[in-house]
Amino acid sequence: MAESNEIKPLTGLRGVAALYVVAFHYLDGLTFSSPGKTFLAHGYLAVDLFFVLSGFVMALSYARMFYTGFSLSTYWKFLGRRLARVYPLYLAATVVALFLVLLGWLPYVGPGSLGITFVANLFMIQTWGIGASLDAPGWSISTEWAAYLLFPLLLIPALYRRALYAWLSGAVALAILGVLCWIPASVAHKASADAVLNLSEPRLALPVWRCLSEFLLGLLAFRIASDTRGLFRASRGWISSFLVLAALAALTVPRADLFFVFLLPPLIAVLSEGDYLPQRILSSEIAQLGGKLSYSIYLVHVLFTDALGFIHHQVALLGLPHGQSYGAVVCIVLTLVCAWLAHRFIEVPARQWLRRVLEPRKAGRTTREPVLETK
């Protein structure tokens, strides 16, 4: 592994995933009736990529903190850094979403009262079987918070024990995901029978199991990337191209969710090093910009749902076709502008301020924050 924590291909991959989620939500009502439509309808799997990528980056950035054992001071330091990274923008988006719900511009789907749900959202525990996320993408932040709390425990089988324990833990993670895919859509509240891993409803805390399993797979991806065998390193070029193509192909096949997730750990591992075609594409300036804005894009885009519906309706009243497409274009532009503003004026300064509050620096000493983050 390279010594620098900046892995540009993975930053670019994060940007691609964020835009994939945006396309999925703005083109709502997609079916799995053809390869192209199936690809777009599988947009929810970008969140699964986020979960696996998050596990990889947490291992890269923080695993050394627990290598010699567990201590409360180290644990609070780790949680403080994660709070500084994810909470300020999450809180801002949640508060804005609350006002939009009160104004009737965003739907409130429950379960439970709005007041209890808001409190659960403030503590990032709503998806643990309590209530809905007011800002819809916040459900994944809630599940990742559970993964952060369990991070030292997940490290033990994934990184700190013999390879046998690591692969057994990976098998357990895949088995859990298989069970989640098998649960009927009516029980798991899936959007359709073909969206077998589209679990975001808080009922039964199923999204938490989805996240924890894939977060663990991300830790194993870091272990794969740390492998020093010459054959594996020499083969990264064609392996990375093959895995990218295989993952894209899986997204065009209905009910291939588990196979797609199975490809993610080796895909992330090979993309983390080397200068081959997939890495060069993901390291381009536009991909890097998308990666830097990805967290903001992800959290703000659903706030424009009402605008999307309004534009669609107005275009229909004029008797023009493709109203949803026009609305999607307008909302994508609004999303990118607001994401840049949120990143520039909320996400970055609030993160830096909260880091200073939670982790004061000693005079004359500085610490370098990891460049690559998934959220």
DSSP 293-314: HHHHHHHHGGGGHHHHHHHHHH
Q: Average pLDDT, stretch 218-227? A: 91
pLDDT band at 311 (very low <50, low <70, confident <90, very high): confident
Q: Which two tokens stand for residue 112?
A: 């439970």
- pLDDT of res. 55: 98
Instruction: Examine the pLDDT at 251 and tell me if it is beyond 90.
Output: yes
Average pLDDT over residues 160-165: 93
User: What is the pLDDT, as a whole number, of residue 21?
Assistant: 96
**String of DSSP letters for 142-169:** HHHHHHHHTHHHHHHHHHSS-HHHHHHH
| pTM for this model (two decimals) | 0.93
Alpha-carbon gap, residue 259 to 300, rounded angstroms: 30
Q: What's residue 347's pLDDT?
A: 98
Which of 198, 193, 194 has the alpha carbon at shortest distance from 46?
Answer: 198
Phi then psi dihedrals of residue 9, to 5 deg: -60, -35
CA distance 252 to 371: 33
112: left (phi over 0), alpha (psi -120 to 50) or beta: left
Is the CB of residue 141 less than 8 Å from the CB of residue 129? no
Alpha-carbon distance of 59 to 76, in angstroms, equals 17
pLDDT band at 375 (very low <50, low <70, confident <90, very high): low
Residue 318 has pLDDT above 90, yes or no: no
Residues near 88 by beta carbon (within 8 Å), at least 6 away in sequence: 346, 347, 350, 351, 354
Amino acid at 79: L
Distance separating alpha carbons of residues 357 and 354, to the nearest angstrom = 5
Helix or strand or coil: residue 104? coil
If one compares 329 and 310, the residue with the highest pLDDT of the two is 329
pLDDT for the residue 366 = 44
How far apart, in Å, are the Cα atoms of 336 and each of 12, 139, 193? 16, 21, 32
- Give which of 210, 215, 149 is closest to 176, Cα–Cα: 210
pLDDT computed for residue 3 by the predictor: 40
Residue 319 banded pLDDT, cuts 50, 70, 90: confident
Q: How many CB atoms lie within 10 A of CB 15?
A: 21
* Residue of 191 and 10 predicted with greater confidence: 10
HEC secondary structure over 192-217: CCCCCCCCCCCHHHHHHHHHHHHHHH
Section 294-299 average pLDDT: 98
Q: What is the pLDDT of residue 93?
A: 97
Q: Which candidate, 364, 363, 361, places its Cα nearest to that of 81? A: 361
Q: Show me where the domains of the chain are located.
A: 8-358
Question: What is the rounded CA–CA span in Å between residue 35 and residue 250?
Answer: 10
Mean residue pLDDT of the chain comes to 90
- State residue 125's pLDDT score: 97
pLDDT of residue 363: 47
